[in-house]
Amino acid sequence: MNEKTIELVKSAQSGNRYAFAQLLHESYSTVYKYLLKLTLDEHEAQDITQDTMVKAIERINSYNHNKSSFTTWMITIAKNIFIDSTRKRKRFEKYKLENLYAGQLYTSLDEFLENDEIISSINKLSPKLKAPIILKYGFDFSYEEIANYMKIPIGTVKSRISNGVKAIRKELKSYE
């Protein structure tokens, strides 16, 4: 990495907004082009590029020029955001498929929460089962996030969610 970029990074890490703006400006095009090839979608590439810039602003102090170039660091952030968004999209598709069996297809959390039978079924769960279900499906927490939040092992989170979903499905079948 050249000396100019190293100085810009150090200056940005010290709080110099101009230096940070220059770094982001210089890497924007490279990150966008990378994401365009990865996503094959202009809008998604633009969205993830913007998210990458925000994440870089939040994490500038974690950047170490001895480990990678600034552009490589930005590409890594972009790749991780892309992977996360792909996982979320897959989870949503899985959710839609799981709910097709009952003729219930919810395209948003609001629609899901407006269904009285589902709300009633969730409310009948014990607090130990209800909390992880709401965190997972209502707030899109990962298993690890739920485990950290509830201070329980990940295996326990998975078990409780599985048991809760089974109980909800059983309850919903009684409404049919």
Enumerate domains of the chain plus CATH numbers: 3-88 (1.10.1740.10), 101-175 (1.10.10.10)
Average pLDDT, the chain: 82
Kindly state the average pLDDT of the residues 141-150.
Answer: 85
Model pLDDT for residues 79-122, shown as the tens digit of each residue: 999 988 888 777 766 665 565 444 444 444 555 556 677 778 88
Confirm if 148 and 105 have CB atoms less than 8 A apart: no
Question: How many residues does this entry show for the chain?
Answer: 176
pTM for this predicted structure: 0.53
pLDDT of residue 103: 45
- The C-alpha atoms of residue 134 and residue 140 are separated, in whole angstroms, by 9
Would you place residue 68 in the very low, low, confident or very high pLDDT band (cuts 50, 70, 90)? confident
pLDDT of residue 51: 93
- The C-alpha atoms of residue 137 and residue 162 are separated, in whole angstroms, by 12
Residues 6+ positions from 45 with CB-CB distance below 8 Å: 32, 35, 36, 38, 39
Confirm if 88 and 62 have CB atoms less than 8 A apart: no
